[in-house]
Amino acid sequence: MISKFDFCKVKILVIGDVMLDKYYYGSVERISPEAPIPILKVSKKTSSLGGAANVANNVISLKAQVLLFGLIGDDFNGNEFKNILENKKIESHLLELDMPTITKSRIVANKNQQLVRLDFEENLKLTTKNTQLIKTKIINLLPLADIIIISDYAKGLINKEICTYIIDEAKKADKKVIIDPKKDNWELYKNAFLITPNFQEFKKATGANIANTDEEIELYGKKLIKNLNLTYLLVTRSEKGMSLISKNTAHHFKAIAQEVYDVSGAGDTVIATLAVTAAKGFDILTACDLSNKAAGIVVRKSGTAPIALNELEDTLIEAHEENKIVELPLLLKKINGRKIAFIDGIFDSCGKKTIEFLRKIKNQIDFLIIGLHKNPDATKLEDKIFLLAALELIDFIIVLDPEELPEIIQIIKPDVYYTEKNIKGEILWSL
């Protein structure tokens, strides 16, 4: 089956703290005679990509291209890390320094009970020589990417000098920089396009004891945007979903996951999905909506498992098509007494101009309905439905024959009616 989302030409540059995640699984049946601790009988061990490398893993799992830059050591874990990258066909541009490869080993009993975590790392302080090597690597990689992700795990690579350098050089090249922050002081993230903190990271950055409410997120989010000259701020809020804040607007996305198994790596999935979909040309609201759904998938998995493209597509079909594709009788029940806009057409393309128009209309009404003209090519029609349904701006889609249009208009009686051909023009019909 050909994927409805074709990201094969999208290329993302991921810069950040790379790690190796190791898991030792087993069962506990007795206590050690040497000390009052459980004995784990190991039955399985796995190794996976962590930190910024997990972001790259999510990008490649969405069938997009990725360039990964990070620091590792010349050691056993570093070699294992490179082998995993090679097996996953992730293009890496690593710099080996005199340091241990950051490795986190987790001991897990009875499938999901984590007993202890072992961290192998050192506090890294970059020398002048290493800083210059890093800058040279980055400046050579920047022109190759559509969007740059900075995945900062506060392990030493992303200091103020390096972060400012990336953002400044990206601006010169007209490239967007998206940052997953871990530091409390966000001054080094100034002038970025978008930052994706979780609520606790956001709270620390504000310096205030704020509540996880829409109102507080909006108020303090707009202050941070102004102070740091950001374009957007996307706050992930656990069971309360996500909030996208800009200078003048705020949009809140409800949480998707029904059962949370492991939140490890969910932030990596969010930023990777956001970057890939934005680079493909999706508007920011749709990109955030898709990222929210992707996070809802990975938190149901164990460990730092990435989002797969087919999983995202399947979730979209469940979440959108079942609710948005409606027959006329059901549509009439759903829109009863509400202010609606109706736009009909073939929608062979849905670019930036169309999205901006839909957003403008959406702000004036309760429901936005698309009347999609039938097409003899069933596959093409299916793809159109899939992509239109993925747009959060659109509430319902009704598939129709063009000759049915006059009758449908009379039945629905929209407050505002446009045809796709006249999408830039005046209102054609209005009560």
Tell me whether residue 258 is exposed, middle or buried, using C-beta atoms within 10 angstroms of its C-beta: 0 to 12, 13 to 18, 19 or more: exposed
Is residue 368 within 8 Å of 341, Cβ to Cβ? yes
CA distance 221 to 422: 37
Nearest Cα to 201, choosing from 235, 232, 229?
Answer: 235
Ranges assigned E (strand) in 237-288: 242-245, 250-253
Residue 312 Rama label (left phi>0; alpha psi -120 to 50; beta)? alpha
- DSSP output for 347-371: -S---HHHHHHHHHHHTT-SEEEEE
Is residue 226 within 8 Å of 247, Cβ to Cβ? yes
Nearest Cα to 248, choosing from 225, 215, 214?
Answer: 225
* Bridge pairing between strands 416-419 and 242-245: unpaired
**Number of residues written out for the chain:** 431
Residues annotated catalytic, as ranges: 268
- DSSP output for 224-249: HHHHHT-SEEEEE-GGG-EEEE-SS-
